[in-house]
Amino acid sequence: MDAPKLVLSLTAEGLDAYCRELIRLAPNGGHALAGLVALQSFVTEMAEPGSCINPAYKAAQSVIETHVATTRQRLLNESADGLARAMREADLQAVANIHASLSRNGFWQAAQQAIQKLDENELAAAVAWAKSWCREAKQRAEAASGYPDALDFKKAGIVPEEYTALVELARYLESAS
């Protein structure tokens, strides 16, 4: 016996309104993007086989993709602004939070945008801060481990995610200066 079906009727206009509402209600750009990507996957997965050639399906996917692209760019811009502020303020926690919220490529893109927002003196200060912090953190972790070429972040009181975020940022800063 076949399981009962629920058939949904989607229009590009209805999806556009839904996407706008999803974005409006999301607590931040990351949640909005996750919701849109989930919606996109849902529509793709639940569409009847062969629907991808249907003009209505293509229109629906186009609407969702437009919102995904816009939201992704907004999130990248917000992250770049936050990263520039974090570099100006030498705010390790803010750098780590932004790093954790983005993919490696997203963090790289945000860092590249953020670096462009810094003037020459701010960039030099950010490079010095990042290099100094990474050097000191590595020395503390090496000393805490007791073994050559081994790092013990926990004993040194260093959050590994913060170390990783700042090491990556330091690399991007060094290549930009």
pLDDT of residue 176: 84
Per-domain boundaries in the chain: 12-176
Whether the pLDDT of residue 172 is over 90: the answer is yes
Is there a contact between 63 and 71 (Cβ–Cβ < 8 Å)?
no
Average pLDDT estimate for 51-57: 88
Angle at 102 between CA 125 and CA 121, to 5 degrees: 10
pLDDT of residue 78: 93
Band the pLDDT of 146: cuts 50, 70, 90.
confident
Average pLDDT estimate for 140-166: 92
26: three-class secondary structure by DSSP? coil
157: three-class secondary structure by DSSP? coil
pLDDT of residue 165: 97
Number of Cβ within 10 Å of residue 82's Cβ equals: 18
Residue 52, both tokens: 């991808």
Cα 144 from Cα 4, distance rounded (Å): 62
Contacts of 116 (CB under 8 A, 6+ apart): none
Is residue 85 classed exposed, middle or buried when 0-12, 13-18 and 19+ CB atoms within 10 A define those classes? Answer: middle
pLDDT of residue 68: 97
Among residues of the chain, what percentage have pLDDT more than 70?
100
Give, in order, the Cα–Cα distances in Å from 93 to each of 90, 123, 140, 163: 9, 19, 18, 10
Mean pLDDT of the chain: 93
Stated pTM of the model: 0.81
Amino acid in the structure at residue 121 = N
Band the pLDDT of 91: cuts 50, 70, 90.
very high
Cα 88 from Cα 62, distance rounded (Å): 39
